[in-house]
């Protein structure tokens, strides 16, 4: 049994310790907002927050998360996430949308770390998240917009 905090609630999972968190989320817990894309930390579709840091859940063995805090797109909240998702709506970022959970998770983590990222900081933080539809320009615009919103509120 491995227990950890998932989206604010304590969960217990009975699975081999080498099972990646991604498959526990999707197959055991029914949280399918976190996506499988590559299995090798190459695409970022499976990005979650582990103790607030963006991490690829496809290569994160559950043995390593005992007692730690996991946030998925389903549990994402707070004013930064809200600003990011509203900016996503406003800029109409999505196309097929499959990568967008990961993009939103990465963008939220970026803005928590760096409230006013420039283009280079955004590219640096977001280049691990592939978008096969090519929405990068709008992802960048939306991150700037969310940063402005949060700056105005502050």
> What residue ranges bind another protein (CB under 8 A)?
15-16, 19-20, 23, 26-28, 30, 32-40, 42-43, 45, 72-74, 85, 88-89, 92-101, 104, 122-124, 126-140
Closest separation in Å from C-beta 94 to another protein: 4
Closer to another protein by Cβ: residue 51 or 89: 89
Classify burial at 30, counting beta carbons within 10 Å of its beta carbon; exposed 0-12, middle 13-18, buried 19 or more.
exposed
> What span, in angstroms and rounded, lies between the C-alpha atoms of 75 and 149?
22
Closest separation in Å from C-beta 71 to another protein: 12
Closest separation in Å from C-beta 36 to another protein: 7
Alpha carbon 54 to its chain's center:
6
Closest separation in Å from C-beta 5 to another protein: 19
Phi–psi pair at 37, nearest 5 degrees: -125, -40
Nearest to 101 by CA among 35, 17, 28: 35
Closer to another protein by Cβ: residue 4 or 26: 26
Closer to another protein by Cβ: residue 3 or 27: 27
> What span, in angstroms and rounded, lies between the C-alpha atoms of 6 and 67?
10
């Amino acid at each position: 049994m491995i227990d950890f905090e998932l989206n604010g609630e304590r969960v217990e999972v009975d699975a081999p310790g080498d099972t990646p968190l991604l498959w526990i989320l999707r197959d055991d817990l029914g949280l399918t907002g976190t996506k499988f894309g590559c299995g090798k930390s190459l695409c970022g579709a499976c990005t979650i927050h582990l103790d607030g840091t963006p991490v690829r859940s496809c290569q994160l063995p559950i043995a390593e998360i005992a007692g730690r805090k996991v946030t998925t797109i389903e549990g994402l909240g707070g004013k930064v996430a809200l600003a990011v998702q509203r900016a996503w709506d406003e800029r109409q970022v999505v196309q097929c949308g499959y990568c967008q959970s990961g993009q939103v998770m990465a963008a939220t983590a970026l803005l928590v770390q760096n409230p006013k990222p420039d283009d280079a900081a955004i590219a640096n933080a977001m280049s691990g998240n592939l978008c096969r539809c090519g929405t990068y320009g709008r992802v960048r615009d939306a991150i700037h917009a969310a940063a402005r919103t949060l700056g105005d509120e502050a």
